[in-house]
Structure 1
Amino acid sequence: MDALVWIAVGSLFAWLWLLLGQGFFWRTDVRLPAREAPAEWPFVCVVVPARDEAGVLPESLPSLLAQDYPGRAEVFLVDDGSSDGTGELALELARRHGGLPLTVGSPGEPPAGWTGKLWAVRHGIGLARARGPEYLLLTDADIAHEPGSLRELVAAARTGGFDLVSLMARLRVESVGERLVVPAFVYFFAQLYPFRRIAVDGSRTAAAAGGCVLLRADAAERARIPDAIRHAVIDDVALAKAVKRGGGRIWLGLADRVESVRPYPRLRDLWRMVSRSAYAQLRHSPTLLAGTVAGLALVYLVPPVALLAGLVTGVDRAAAAGGLAWALMAATYLPMLRYYRQSPWLAPLLPVTAFLYLLMTVDSAVQHYRGRGAAWKGRTYARPDTALDEG
């Protein structure tokens, strides 16, 4: 019983530290910073890597072509070996909707040492650089932008003097699995990379959201993007670290005008999304995996277990510590649920979601040691490497 009390108290102290000492990660008011219209709007090239995206392009691509941007802008969609007619559909959508000029290119299969997406991004950036843009907007094929999105991103970058401005697109939340997993996904991401710390000069915290990254072209060259991160499965975080290490100023926050249209109707779809990169996040380290499993258990699973066990056995101190830790957990999750317009009654279920994430992380390690590594869109990377290339 003494052990139960001490474990419950340890979990409670962990939550007190997370509440106050982890950059107020649970707050959802980090949105695009103050911005003013520049005297002259810079030239922007939008790069969209796309592999087998015919299902989502009709919702996403027209939103890019229809951007209400006062300056010059062009869109480069890179068809990364699609088998569903993605490139042809993109050209048809451009003919049908008009708007910004669209160029469709294809880089061929990636060489050894490159992930498919980053090889496509490299090709797209190469096409864009021939035009001489000041900024690059790297955005995924499933991301829809409201008409003023590009204008606001550029204004925020110019006003704040940022080399990289990234928005965590609002993900789709409609199915039961999406309601249970998606808000927690963003919550956990913010816990690992508190948004408030990212923009602080001198802070080592660096992250971006790959679905929407506005990047100064000269900062990309200094950081050798994407060559320096060509191995990265978690490419958005690696990109942000490379830019910050190169002296660039970066900013990341939640989006109001940028949304993902990709559906995850079944839990196994969400499982695959998380497990494909979870072990890469841990640098394929068994030690970090063990620590992560223990940490998830202490922080998310102990509180409800301690409360219930304490009530059953009459150990009031364990029940009190577990109940208070569970209450703090639910309270910190409520802002994210409100951001995603979900019921507050999902907040007490966060331990269930955390247990699912624990299983997904273990499954990611199992797949890695079976030689399957990170698999996505028909490609498998046996040993993805999230470390930046120092060479």
Structure 2
Amino acid sequence: MGQTARVSALLWTVAGSLAAWLWLLLCQGFFWRTDVRLPPGTPPAVWPSVCVVVPARDEAGLLPAALPSVLAQDYPGRAEVFLVDDGSTDGTGELARELSRRHGGLPLTVSSPGEPPAGWTGKLWAVRHGIGLARARGPEYLLLTDADIAHAPDSLRRLVAAAHSGGFDVVSQMARLRVESLWERLVVPAFVYFFAQLYPFRRIGRPGARTSAAAGGCVLLRAEAAARARIPDAIRHAVIDDVALARAVRRSGGRIWLGLADGVDSVRPYPRLHDLWRMVARSAYAQLRHNPLLLAGTVAGLAVVYLVPPVALVAGLALGSMATAVLGALAWLVMTGTYLPMLRYYAQPPWLAPLLPFTAFLYLLMTVDSAVRHYRGRGAAWKGRTYTRPDAVPDEG
């Protein structure tokens, strides 16, 4: 009797998991498709001026692979770059000047704002300083890009053309992250897949959409929209600053576009599981607004959606319940199928797709660890700074 009850409970659970996957497949903005790419906008008659703001903290190791590509932008209008050295101790600022002297290209200004005051994250304090310098030039657009992001020569031109043609206040591209080590292959494509599942790209660009998100490595922002939304002051405490920026612009009446990148690449390596774990854990609990109930719901949801299908398949075969095994196999098959496009985008072999439940289990553990770090007072730690109790990202409008 006890075994029958357990099989029945597992059967109902895996049926719920399959129903969830069918809903995700058909009703979650087709998040699994990877064809939302930068639209080929019509070039403006007069190219608007752009200021590029690059916050950088201890990036001397990566700057030579990224900054020259920003300076080398083939942009027909007026453009210049402001690199904001956020308290680096490795000579980031001087290296940036040397790279500018060596490679030429767009004019570069290097400045430092000093330590952030209470209530500000370091990156947003640096961005505020950079935007303040840029506004003295009166640009129509601001490009916020990270110090580890390499751009193709036509990147800025394509971003501006897309924003101009589409009437967007924010045009953001999810930079293609590095995928070389074993752990990067297992974790990185799934990171982008999960992000797209939370914030389906197709929904973000629709007029009147409520879903709002951006990718902080590459954000073209209309200067007027930034002033209207009080960027970055309105989001100065946000750990997940890109999503917070998009929501602030949306609330102020702006339009947003977000998609996968071609020609915008992160050069930052994450060779070990520890490196990837730290990247996810530093902000996962902030994404859940530091809410224990949301944490419990997320853990339960990840378990039911990602872990139950393979468990049900194996348990159904072991217990002689073919219905349980078949439902588990179907749910796992749908999950695998939705992951294949992201693996193709990252040029990874398809045999990694059935391993998504294992990767999801890692993300479950990272999320729990993020909460543990928060309650131990370590919060969101990054490059020597710890934001013990960062405020939550604002609710969508």
Cα distance in 2, alignment partners of residues 88 and 168 from structure 1: 29
Distance apart, 1:388 and its partner CA: 3.9
Identify the residue that residue 189 of structure 1 maps to in structure 2. Answer: 195
Q: 2:96 aligns with which of 84, 90, 106?
A: 90
1:208 aligns with 2:245: no
* TM-score, with structure 1 as normaliser: 0.99
Given that 2:286 and 2:393 are in contact with CA atoms closer than 8 Å, whether structure 1 keeps it comes out as: no
1:19 aligns with 2:25: yes
Alignment of 1:1-391 (within 5 A): 1-388=7-394
SS at match of 2:59: coil
Given that 2:173 and 2:258 are in contact with CA atoms closer than 8 Å, whether structure 1 keeps it comes out as: yes
Amino acid at match of 1:261: V
Distance apart, 1:101 and its partner CA: 0.1
Distance apart, 1:386 and its partner CA: 2.9
Cα distance in 2, alignment partners of residues 130 and 160 from structure 1: 27
**Offset from partner CA, 1:86-139 (integer Å, 9 cap, x none):** 000000000000000000010000000000000000000000001100000000
Distance apart, 1:385 and its partner CA: 1.3
Change in CA separation of 1:216 and 1:71 when aligned onto 2, cut-off 3 Å = same
Given that 1:133 and 1:217 are in contact with CA atoms closer than 8 Å, whether structure 2 keeps it comes out as: yes
Gaps of 5+ in 1: none
SS at match of 1:138: strand
Cα distance in 2, alignment partners of residues 203 and 47 from structure 1: 28
**Which shifted more, 32-41 or 248-257?**
32-41
Given that 1:231 and 1:384 are in contact with CA atoms closer than 8 Å, whether structure 2 keeps it comes out as: yes
Distance apart, 1:19 and its partner CA: 0.2
RMSD, aligned CA: 1.0
**Offset from partner CA, 1:348-374 (integer Å, 9 cap, x none):** 000000000000000000000000100
SS at match of 1:77: strand
**Offset from partner CA, 1:160-193 (integer Å, 9 cap, x none):** 0101000000000000010000000000000000
Amino acid at match of 1:331: G
Cα distance in 1, alignment partners of residues 295 and 91 from structure 2: 40
Amino acid at match of 2:82: F
**Offset from partner CA, 1:280-333 (integer Å, 9 cap, x none):** 000000000000000000000000000000011110111011000000000000
SS at match of 2:172: strand
Distance apart, 1:387 and its partner CA: 3.1
What is the identity percentage for the equivalent residue pairs of Structure 1 and Structure 2? 82
Cα distance in 1, alignment partners of residues 323 and 74 from structure 2: 59
**Offset from partner CA, 1:27-68 (integer Å, 9 cap, x none):** 000001131111000000000000000010001000000000
Cα distance in 1, alignment partners of residues 102 and 300 from structure 2: 54
Cα distance in 2, alignment partners of residues 261 and 86 from structure 1: 16
SS at match of 2:51: strand
* TM-score, with structure 2 as normaliser: 0.97
Distance apart, 1:234 and its partner CA: 0.2
Given that 1:235 and 1:386 are in contact with CA atoms closer than 8 Å, whether structure 2 keeps it comes out as: no
Gaps of 5+ in 2: 1-6
Given that 1:43 and 1:135 are in contact with CA atoms closer than 8 Å, whether structure 2 keeps it comes out as: yes
Amino acid at match of 2:189: P
